[in-house]
Structure 1
């Protein structure tokens, strides 16, 4: 700052005190991030010994979940599953509390837990953590958390919630955070299944996996922009727009993929669910379209 620059008149914001229920690997990483940023943190864990190490770092360890909830207005929950959330909070007074649920669950569980919390006088946010514990509090990691539910709660506590990882608010529907989380994880599973099949094809040949890996990564990166085209087709309903390789061509090409797997002595079980879906959509008369229309076959509510 130069000598004649005006001094700031904005007082530094006092770090918000908060309660964290659950000090497993993720909970501990979250607690350390908030403690490192100067936030007073009260923690509770069913097995107290797992919370005790945080006391040496400045956390207050509560004797019960109810005691921990009573300590602060902002209560963050990071437990095993939705059932454990209900069990931990059963005897706690939630009136006037801001409850943020970082526990992994389904969209329906998020909506039900929101109604449960609101009936007990609490504002509620559900969340989906797009990170593993080592990524927490590392700005270079790209970690972020989806939040959905009370917009007022999110707006008030966004700065505090952003300390461990970036925040992305995806709507007032409490189920949307879990839905975004699971949708991305499902896409990841599909990618990993393809990666595993690719390595299975080469594993008994004179091809070094670490030499093959960069080729695989660059290919997947090159194909990733197709996601945008698929989104546009789904939004417009025009599955014949900007086709590079239509469904009929892709089904024909699948024969080579399956034959190669057989030649290499590799099970095709990671491929056949997708190739079978393609064959069904082709048989329904969509050979001149792209593959995005196959989403109709996955919609059980239309059957």
Structure 2
């Protein structure tokens, strides 16, 4: 018999998680603050708990997927968590996960913070993965169970590391899409077809440029090898053209300005002969 699982929270993601557990044959208890949410789970075999006390008591593995971190503690407050593994997949910050982990451990639970790298439709499929951090004992015990939702990736015993990985990847995604949206706004300013511009030029260009990321990472870990292929002083000098063009075309340059400031800072502080990897320490120093 597979491990019984409880899922707290039946928004779009929580419903997808519960559905994946059911599909994999796990006895699944579900609870939602608003009763009756996601009625399709009933026909799939889910047990609907009337209270959080009933829901948590039903399973050794409790998966929490609520809207915001603030509701996690209030939902679990006062419950008997002794011997339970709490896998908190609610989006939050590293600091929030560390605080919740300390609280859960005091309440007798093993804690795993999580970061879901998928949209609901991807859950249970091969492309989805979920970061976990926290109790190594709990992860080893439940790794096979957690795999029903998505590929589990354990990133360390610090409970905040899963959230850090999650937020870092989302930051990269939003930065990439922000740049793409600015590019599309520029193209639209001259009534260039968005479809043709994207398919013929933007997507191939971004894909090619992403190929430089492993070299940047290697430079950060091991130090640069040889001279920069495109040094920061040159990039800083040319960057004004990006902002000026946006203004001329009636496009808000807000997404571009911070990068230009960072390039000029790099050049002004002696990094002009270096490559893009040199910007990462400047970001850390500026926190």
Q: TM-score, normalised by structure 2?
A: 0.95
Q: Equivalent residue for 2:26?
A: 39
Q: Which residue of 1 aligns with 2:139?
A: 154
Gaps of 5+ in 1: 1-13
Q: Distance in 2 between matches of 1:59 and 1:242?
A: 60
Gaps (5+ residues) in structure 2?
none
Q: Per-residue displacement from partner, 1:123-164 (whole Å, max 9, x unpaired)?
A: 11110000111111222xx11100011111111111111112
Is structure 2 residue 5 aligned with structure 1 residue 15? no
Where 1:46 maps in the other structure, the secondary structure is coil
- Per the alignment, in what secondary structure is the counterpart of residue 19 of structure 2? helix
Given that 1:239 and 1:293 are in contact with CA atoms closer than 8 Å, whether structure 2 keeps it comes out as no
Cα separation, 1, equivalents of 2:191 and 2:9: 48
Equivalent pair of 1:148/1:170 in contact (CA under 8 Å): yes
3-state SS of 1:174 partner: coil
- What does residue 195 of structure 1 align with? 180
Are the counterparts in 1 of residues 189 and 250 from structure 2 also a CA contact under 8 Å? Answer: no
Whether the 8 Å CA contact 1:240–1:288 is kept in 2: the answer is no
Residue 226 of structure 1 corresponds to which residue in structure 2?
212
The alpha carbon displacement at 1:101 in A equals 0.6
Deviation digits for residues 214-257 of structure 1, max 9, x if unmatched?
Answer: 21111111111221111112223x35745210011111221322
TM-score for the superposition, normalised by structure 1: 0.90
Distance 1:266 1:150 in 2: 48
**Structure (1 or 2) with the larger CA radius of gyration:** 1
1:204 corresponds to which residue? 189
* Distance 1:89-1:44 versus aligned 2 partners, 3 A rule: same
Q: Give the deviation of 1:51 after TM superposition.
A: 4.7
Structure 1 segment 1-303 matched on structure 2, within 5 A: 14-139=1-126, 142-214=127-199, 215-236=201-222, 238-239=223-224, 241-299=226-284
Segment drifting more, 53-62 vs 67-76: 53-62
Aligned positions, number: 286
Following TM superposition, by how much is the alpha carbon of 1:209 offset from its aligned partner in structure 2, in angstroms? 0.7
1:48 to partner: Cα distance: 0.8
Taking only aligned residues, the RMSD between alpha carbons, in angstroms, comes to: 1.5
Preserved contact between residue 6 and residue 63 of structure 2 (Cα < 8 Å): yes
Q: Tell me if the contact between 1:240 and 1:290 (Cα under 8 Å) persists in the aligned partners.
A: no
3-state DSSP of counterpart to 1:27: helix
Q: Which runs of 4+ in 1 moved over 6 A?
A: none
